[in-house]
Amino acid sequence: MASPSPKSPEQSEKTKQYDRQLRLWGDHGQFALENGHICLVNATVLGTEVLKSIVLPGVGAITIVDDKIVTDEDIGSNFFLECSSKGLNRGSEALRLLLELNPAVQGNAVQEPPDQILKENPDFFKSFTVVIATSLGEKTIQDLAQHLWDVNVPLILCRSVGFLGSFRIQMKEHAVIETHPDNEQTDLRLDVPFHALSEYLDSFDIDTLDLKDHGHIPWIVIIYKAVQKWRVNNPHWPMSRKEKNEIKGIIQDFIRKDENGVPINEENFEEAIRAVNTALMPTFLPAKSQELLYCSAATNITKESTPFWIMCAALRGFVESEGKGNLPVKGVLPDMTASTDHYIKLQNLYRTQASMDAEIVYRKVQQIVAQLHCENISEADVKLFCRHAHDLHLISGSSIVSEYQLTSSVASYIARHLEEPDVMMVHYILMRASEIFQSEHCRAPGDWEPEGDIAKLKTCVTKLLSDVSCSPFPKDDHVHEMCRYGGAEIHSVSAFLGGCVAHEAIKIVTKQYKPVNNTFIYDAGSTNTATFTF
Amino acid sequence: MASGETQTSTDQQRRWLHIRKLLERSGPFCHPDFEPSPEILDFIMESCKILIVGAGGLGCELLKDLALLGFRKLHIVDMDTIELSNLNRQFLFRKNDIGLSKAKCAVEFVNKRVPGCEAIAHHCAIQDLDEGFYRQFHIVVCGLDSIVARRWLNGMLMSLLQYNDDRSLDQSSVIPLVDGGTEGFKGNARVILPGMSACIECTLDLYPPQKTFPLCTIANTPRLPEHCIEYVKVIQWAKENPWGSNIALDGDDPQHVAWVFEKAQDRAMKHGISNVTYRLTQGVLKNIIPAVASTNAAIAACCASEVFKLATSCCTSMNNYMVMNMADGVYTYTFNAEKRPDCVACSNSTRVVEIEPQATLQSIYDKLCEDPAYLMKSPGITTVINGRNKTLYMSSIKSIEERTRDNLKKKLTELGLFNGADILVADVTTPNTVTIKLKFAEYQDVEMTR
Ligand SMILES: [Zn+2]
């Protein structure tokens, strides 16, 4: 038998290899990732576990900064070191074994301590997409964080000790257009139908259709007709639960009956009744969008403004004029029982309107770009922006230095969470106190023997607590537990955090999905996590 | 020689310094049974046998994590071979390994990288291994993508439970099961103490129902690109048999996928439907679940920590189910999934099904497939009448299916079943036959003797 062998759109090797992740962030996300360059400071277990999950999906390049020499303890817990690595530079050894994971990734190792680089060649860090640092002393953390804040390079600072771990993301500003919400709001405009939509909806007469067609009417039409009928006696849009129930009653009456007066099972009408609550949500400018469009970055556009803010400014122009207070139509129709013709017609109406709206926004973008002589923004980018205009997400970050210096807002934030009482904030205090201990005693608390360090660590904790105007902890149990850890790095705890940090770095590089804002605490002992925003 | 050995043993001591701190020191949050001692590390290294089920995204991570937590007696089972699309997350495999056994490749890599690790590979299906095999392990940790296989494994561990004369559970027969699963940016991890805490069957409702498209939509009113692809897969392939009448559609054959893609595009074009892509076609045909390294790393690590806690008691175990979502920030929630007192797998009691005496065998069959407490795939139903086995219905073997098909239409009473009768049900979701007692609805106070 001859093979029908159609001209197959042969997928590239790369597309096949990355297939499972391309379904999550698309080819454009992959493109961004492949242009990313991640810097890791210190190839600890946590550090290499982070890089592993960034190298596998195919980041462009990695650079490891590490001046340490590989020890037995390193080999015992770090998968990206081997017995023969002992005595060699830790960063170079880890780099070699990490790059084996994916030949497409470039890599460098720099065998200098970060302090020295900051002093002698601070521009070194400027070129990275994200810097990830672990196992640093308090002083270096602040120096590095301050520098990266100044040069506007995102930093993820992470720790792993015993059953505890944390990471902190520092970014000045991070805008996400494709947030991929789990439950996306529909945007049907039944209360403010655009011309083509109302024309189409009005063309239906539910009562005169034959039974087969009746069962093929999309629920959007059904709800629209029910509301029209209801509004004969009510001037406003149905909002309350009672009014929505009246609409459901009208839809119920639309359902055809058989010769015995028993309602016929019509799936589309059932769907209409289920959809009433969401479909009748009035169209409005979400508070979050309002805030974004009218913040100073969007209203004071300059030559230095990023494309995101230029598009926000153009979008505001649209909302204020053509949009009559609303965002551009999304152009997405949920699936619903309907004949192919009805559904496709309706879908095309929404899509066409969406593309007309986006076109207007694009023209406004072009005007701004021309006025300011800044770099052009592609029509495709503007279209994508408009498609997701309802779910834009902006993170305005805070600096790690202000967190470390316990400015008054940080102090009161911590105090508030300690009063609740929130054990995850207690873990944060313990990790910070251990860092202070480390800089005072040049070793982790409990490194040699736990009991002797309990009192000393407690002093650090109490000092930290008094700095945020909190009284000392009534019990020593968390201090004791921290001394038990003795600075141990448990592989599975670091592997968990490594996965999370890699994940967040990928979100930052691809500018898709919402990253943690801004601090994540993990307790593997109780299997709990928490997010704090310093 | 002697000094060399001492040198090695101090290296060894230093190498495991991190976990020794946890195991040789007591702390305020330890399990009440915990007594710090160097012997715990010896136990982990020399005696504690762990079975890892699955050598995929989670399995590779688990093997690495457990080896670096000191475990050496590791077994890993997986029937699959390595494919190119695994390499974005299954980090123990390289392009050269494509086509080789996942279990063998993973074991080879980790034993080489972590000296002293003695992992053993089993390149076979979990169903090929018997009770004696599973009974040898202290803990089983599972990273599968198939719910049916997971349920089968759960059933196996439940069937190893032994009960004392007073019907209390014999604790020594309990093999804890740590289970992880991921889907895209989401995942879950849980600890199951068979007979003591909720098992997989207790919480079947936590699995989302599979998304299916009604046949009439696919055939008559397609609206989405998926509908067009399903049409070609379900209807057009069988009609046209492009590679001959006995060649089944193979989602892994690029030519087959390309054929479906083209036909689906034609159909979409005819109906004005857009966005039929090659990637979507492949996704629908193979029911592809997106997967990424980071989510797998986090979930597997969480499972590995729980194995470590169970094996050492150095900290209390998770109680008992964690869900994780990494799409919007990183969010986790840990809760206590409740054990079903009448669970078919873990309760040591016979499940009773209440049913109309007029009901047909079909209604029992449907209940076994659709009731969220069973969700079976193709249950085979037998009973014992007057001491003799009688097959009532079985679809898995063609000749028996044909012989018993008519029984589905018959009433239970016509088949010799009565109030209080036991039916025995076999299914791919369980290694054991499940006994179900029928209770006719009108009999209010029937004596339900065991
Ligand atoms: Zn159960």
Residue B7 has pLDDT above 60, yes or no: no
Mutate to test the interface with A, among B11, B12, B25, B232 (most CBs of A within 10 A): B25
CB burial of residue B156 (10 Å; 0-12, 13-18, 19+): buried
**Residue B348: its pLDDT value, please?**
77
Residue B450 has pLDDT above 60, yes or no: no
Closest CA to A96 of A122, A121, A128, A64: A64
Q: Using 50, 70 and 90 to split pLDDT, how confident is the model at B444?
A: low
Q: Which of residues 311-350 of A touch B (CB under 8 A)?
A: 335-340, 343-344, 347-348
**Are A137 and A43 a contacting pair, CB within 8 Å?**
no
| Strands lying side by side in the sheet with B388-393 | B351-355, B430-440, B422-427, B380-385, B388-393
- Runs of H (alpha helix) within A35-129: 45-55, 72-77, 90-99, 114-120
Q: Using 50, 70 and 90 to split pLDDT, how confident is the model at B46?
A: very high
Strands A37-41 and A61-65, by their bridges, are parallel
Alpha-carbon gap, residue A67 to A54, rounded angstroms: 22
Stated pTM of the model: 0.94
- Runs of H (alpha helix) within A68-206: 72-77, 90-99, 114-120, 138-151, 195-202
Residue B210 has pLDDT above 80, yes or no: no
Residue B401 has pLDDT above 80, yes or no: yes
HSE-up (13 A, CA, CB side) for residue A58: 23
Q: Phi and psi (nearest 5°) for B93?
A: -115, 150
CB-nearest partner of B69 from A75, A480, A491:
A491
B22 contacts chain A (CB < 8 A): yes
- Chain A residue with Cα closest to B85: A17
Question: Regarding predicted confidence, which is higher, A488 or B447?
Answer: A488
**Residue B239: its pLDDT value, please?**
93
Alpha-carbon gap, residue A114 to A416, rounded angstroms: 35
First-to-final CA distance of chain A? 68
What string of H, E and C letters represents the secondary structure of B406-443?
Answer: HHHHCECHHHCCCCCCEEEEEECCEEEEEEEEEEECCC
Length of chain B as a residue count? 450
Closest CA to B273 of B231, B242, B234, B233: B231
Tell if the CB–CB gap between B85 and A491 is shorter than 8 Å: no
**Are B289 and B183 a contacting pair, CB within 8 Å?**
yes
User: For the CA atoms of chain B, what is the radius of gyration?
Assistant: 25
What chain B holds in terms of domains, given with CATH numbers, is 16-184+292-318 (3.40.50.720), 215-286 (1.10.10.520), 351-440 (3.10.290.20)
State in Å: Cα B152 to ligand 1 middle: 12
**Are A298 and A316 a contacting pair, CB within 8 Å?**
yes
Q: Please, which residues bridge with residue A341 across strands?
A: none
Closest CA to B125 of B55, B212, B194: B55
**Residue A4: its pLDDT value, please?**
67
The owner of tokens 């020594």 is: B172
Chain A residues inside the 8 Å CB shell of B332: 527-529
Q: Using 50, 70 and 90 to split pLDDT, how confident is the model at B432?
A: confident
State in Å: Cα B436 to ligand 1 middle: 15
- Chain B residue with Cα closest to A9: B258
**Residue B410: its pLDDT value, please?**
92
Closest CA to B194 of B33, B342, B339: B339
| Mean of per-residue pLDDT scores for chain B | 92
Low-confidence residues of chain A, pLDDT below 50?
1-2
Q: For A266, left (φ over 0), alpha (ψ -120 to 50), or beta? A: beta
Chain A residues inside the 8 Å CB shell of B89: 20-21, 56-57
- Chain B residue with Cα closest to A101: B91
Q: For A313, left (φ over 0), alpha (ψ -120 to 50), or beta? A: alpha
CB-nearest partner of B283 from A23, A79, A179:
A23
State in Å: Cα B444 to ligand 1 middle: 27
A506 contacts chain B (CB < 8 A): yes
Residue B293 has pLDDT above 90, yes or no: yes
Residue B216 has pLDDT above 50, yes or no: yes
A37 contacts chain B (CB < 8 A): no
Q: For A180, left (φ over 0), alpha (ψ -120 to 50), or beta? A: left
Alpha-carbon gap, residue B374 to A237, rounded angstroms: 46
Give whole-number Cα distances, A331 to A111, A276, A390, A522, in Å.
53, 20, 12, 40
- Chain A residue with Cα closest to B302: A496
Q: Give the distance, in angstroms, between the CA of residue B7 and the centroid of all CA atoms in the same chain.
A: 45
**Are A9 and B258 a contacting pair, CB within 8 Å?**
yes
**Residue B396: its pLDDT value, please?**
81
User: Quick one: tokens of B350?
Assistant: 């016979």
**Residue A7: its pLDDT value, please?**
61
B286 contacts chain A (CB < 8 A): no
Chain A residues inside the 8 Å CB shell of B271: 340, 344
CB burial of residue B167 (10 Å; 0-12, 13-18, 19+): exposed
Average pLDDT over residues B390-394: 90
**Residue B294: its pLDDT value, please?**
98
**Residue A134: its pLDDT value, please?**
98
**Residue B9: its pLDDT value, please?**
75
Question: Can you tell me the ipTM of this complex?
Answer: 0.96
Tell if the CB–CB gap between B301 and A499 is shorter than 8 Å: yes
What string of H, E and C letters represents the secondary structure of chain B?
Answer: CHHHHHHHHHHHHHHCHHHHHHHCCCCCCCCCCCCCCHHHHHHHHHHCEEEEECCCHHHHHHHHHHHCCCCCEEEEECCCECCHHHCCCCCCCCHHHCCCEHHHHHHHHHHHHCCCCCCEEECCCHHHCCHHHHHCCCEEEECCCCHHHHHHHHHHHHHCCCECCCCCECHHHCCCEEEEEEECCEEEEEEECCCCCCCCHHHHHHCCCCCCCCHHHHHHCCCCHHHHHHHHHHHHHHHHCCCCCCCCCCCCCHHHHHHHHHHHHHHHHHHCCCCCCHHHHHHHHHCCCCCCHHHHHHHHHHHHHHHHHHHHCCCCCCCCEEEEECCECCEEEEECCCCCCCCCCCCCCCEEEEECCCCEHHHHHHHHHHCCCCCCCCCEEEEEECCEEEEEECCCCHHHHHHHHHHHHCECHHHCCCCCCEEEEEECCEEEEEEEEEEECCCCCCCCCC
Closest CA to B317 of B330, B308, B327, B329: B308
**Residue B2: its pLDDT value, please?**
43
State in Å: Cα B148 to ligand 1 middle: 15
**Are A179 and A390 a contacting pair, CB within 8 Å?**
no
- Chain B residue with Cα closest to A72: B15
**Residue A1: its pLDDT value, please?**
44
Instruction: Report whether CATH 3.40.50.720 matches the domain A15-179+490-532.
Output: yes
Q: Which residues of B are catalytic?
A: 216
Tell if the CB–CB gap between A344 and B223 is shorter than 8 Å: yes
Q: Which of residues 107-126 of B touch A (CB under 8 A)?
A: 113-115
Domain range annotation of chain A: 15-179+490-532, 195-279, 287-396, 400-485
